[in-house]
Structure 1
Amino acid sequence: MTGLARGRTERYWTSEGIAAVAAGDARDDLVQPEWTGDGSIAKTVGRLYASGTDGDLGACTATVVGIRTVVTAAHCVRTSIEGASPGEATWDKDLYFVPGYRRGTAPHGGFTVPLIRMAENWQADGLDVAMLEMYPGVDGRNISEATGAQPVSFAGEQGAMTYYFGYPYTDRLLHCSGTGAWEAGKRLRSIPCMMGPGSSGGPYLSGESASGSVVAVNVSGGEGVSYGTALGAFAERLYRQSEHG
């Protein structure tokens, strides 16, 4: 992304793009409770905006996990083509991350994305994860200087209590919790609650809900259960590349 493109992206989302997405947000009848607690999660989790190649606007959920690194689901930045290979999927454009988004506000500013790290065969089980390297904000600070960083673990514990956060096309951060379990033969973690579209990429935390470690990112759900890609050795490699180059 060039400097000019970066500036255009920032101006677009702050002037009209975020408002256009917010027009479809739910403000009542939330599918899960709103997160009203303090702690790091209120700053590190936010909405990741993107425009598709067809011009449609959309949003996922993402989390700050490093000095300049944000983790989300790979399908939040690439759109598959029916009948085509994963490598032929289209890249979403104009990525813009707003940590701590709430009711139309960006309390910690917004950040554009110069580099995405993910698997070429990202649609395979356990690989639907992406690490996004962020440009500094308009004040020159790295994203973690504005928000802090959520701890991240690449060796999640089987059966541990898991807390799930996301923006399922709502104007507030929602949450739920349950005992996490690995799916047989897959690097996936399931949790007995569901949010819906827009919460993809949202973090699953193990430990204290507001300060626990990210162990997975949401990728799908159905019949009251949500599924996340667990952060294993592959995600760890992406993370270290993003943080250390």
Structure 2
Amino acid sequence: MPRTSLRSGPPSPATAAGVLVLLLAAAVTGCGSAEQAGAPEQAVADPAPSGPATDRVGALFVEDTGGARVCTASVVHSPGRNLLITAAHCAAPEGVPLDDLVFAPGYRNGLTPHGTWPVTAVTVDPAWEGGQDEDDDVAFLTVGPLDGRQVEDEVGSGAFAAGLGTGQEVTVTGYPNAGEAPITCRTRTSARSATQQRFDCAGFTDGTSGSPWVTDAGQVIGVIGGYQAGGASPDTSYSVAFDAHVADLYRRAAAD
């Protein structure tokens, strides 16, 4: 199922209706490309079990869980205990942050066991705002509290990590739009280029952009996005390489 990258162009107002148009026209998703079609023993994603590591991953919606489901996001540790990570093309298509996003960690079958958390700020690189370069396809989202609690107090968090390189064993969990529960895959990262990394695992279809790549030590070292907005078919997925540039963006978001 081909997926086109989001178009560059002058900013336009971000509304729920605009999200629906983008979903239909540009397939804002997290597929990967089958660059090794026919390769033996390719990994295939499985249904993700409930549990602490999975419940800190959630679905992004517009306005509420009855609105458009956009992508996947996850909680990363921050001093404010209120920070998410996803792909920039999910939270700021065409460079413009979306209004009224909400995060539903652990979302399953229409249920929100950990509540829905309003996104109050979107942090992307200025270069993404200006031109949507695939090497800047990372976003950090600040969410507001619920009943006096921060999202990290509710579900825990992964640890943002940069500079680890490729060849890492990771678990990737995300929300395909075609289903009502997350999928997961354990796989190994490899390099696509000096600025992009990849993994091979079938099943990461529309909706899984922003899915975190988590090491056994709980470090988030990638999110589905980057090259081809994450990939052109479900078998291979991509991420921006988390380097010093992404680390600077994280520190800026965590300090706000």
| Equivalence for 2:237 | 226
* Correspondent of 1:136 among 131, 145, 152: 145
Q: Which digits, 9 at most, give the CA deviation of each residue in 1:194-213, with x for residues without a partner? A: 4111000000112x2xx621
Taking the aligned partners of 2:109 and 2:199, their CA distance within structure 1 comes to: 27
Which residue identity is paired with 1:178? T
- How far 1:234 sits from its partner (Å)? 2.3
- The alpha-carbon deviation at position 178 of structure 1 amounts to 2.0
AA in 2 matched with 1:77: A
Residue 117 of structure 1, aligned match among 117, 123, 140: 123
Report the AA paired with residue 199 of structure 1.
Answer: T
Select the residue among 199, 210, 215 that pairs with 1:191. Answer: 199
**1:58 Cα deviation after fit:** 3.2
- Provide the residue aligned with 1:46 in structure 2: 58
- For residues 62 and 248 of structure 2, the distance between their equivalents in structure 1, rounded to whole angstroms, comes to 25
Aligned residue in 2 for 1:239: 250
Residues in 2 aligned to 1:121 and 1:44: alpha-carbon distance in whole angstroms:
29
Note the alpha carbon deviations across 1:118-158, whole angstroms, 9 max, x for none. 01222223210001111111x11111111111122112332
Aligned residues: 198
- From 43, 48, 56, the counterpart of 1:35: 48
Q: Letter of the 2:150 partner, please give it.
A: N
Bigger relative contact order, structure 1 or 2, given CA contacts below 8 A and separation 6+?
2
Letter in 2 for 1:107: P
Structure 1 residue 182 displacement after superposition: 1.7
| 1:68 matched residue in structure 2 | 82
Specify the SS of the correspondent of 2:214. strand
Question: Per-residue deviation at 1:221?
Answer: 2.1
Task: Specify the SS of the correspondent of 1:126.
Answer: helix
Tell me if the contact between 1:111 and 1:136 (Cα under 8 Å) persists in the aligned partners.
Answer: yes
SS of residue matched to 2:137: coil
Q: What is residue 167 of structure 1 aligned with on the other side?
A: 175
Secondary structure in structure 2 of the residue aligned to 1:205:
strand
Normalising by structure 1, report the TM-score: 0.74
Task: Give the structure 2 partner of residue 79 of structure 1.
Answer: 93
Deviation track 1:9-64 (CA, whole Å, cap 9, x = no partner) reads xxx9xxxxxxxxxxxxxxxxxx73111153x322210001137xxxx823200010
Contact 1:196 1:221 (8 Å CA) reproduced: no
Query: In structure 2, what residue type is equivalent to 1:98?
Result: A
The answer to whether residue 120 in structure 2 is matched with residue 108 in structure 1 is: no
SS in structure 2 opposite 1:201?
coil
Matched, 1:58 2:64: no
Structure 1 distance, partners of 2:140, 2:155, is: 17
- After TM superposition, the structure 1 = structure 2 runs for residues 207-222 of structure 1, keeping only pairs within 5 Å, are 208=216, 212-219=218-225, 220-222=230-232
| Identity level (%) | 29
The answer (yes or no) to whether the contact 1:177–1:192 under 8 Å persists in 2 is: no
The answer (yes or no) to whether the contact 2:197–2:241 under 8 Å persists in 1 is: yes
The answer to whether the 8 A contact 1:62-1:201 is kept is yes
Q: Which amino acid aligns with 2:244?
A: A
Per-residue CA deviations over 1:141-184 (Å, capped at 9, x if unaligned) read 11111111112211233212222111011211101132201222
Q: Distance in 2 between matches of 1:57 and 1:102?
A: 15
Give TM-score scaled by structure 2 length: 0.71
1:236, distance to aligned residue in structure 2 (A): 1.7
Query: Which amino acid counterpart does residue 45 of structure 2 have in structure 1?
Result: Q
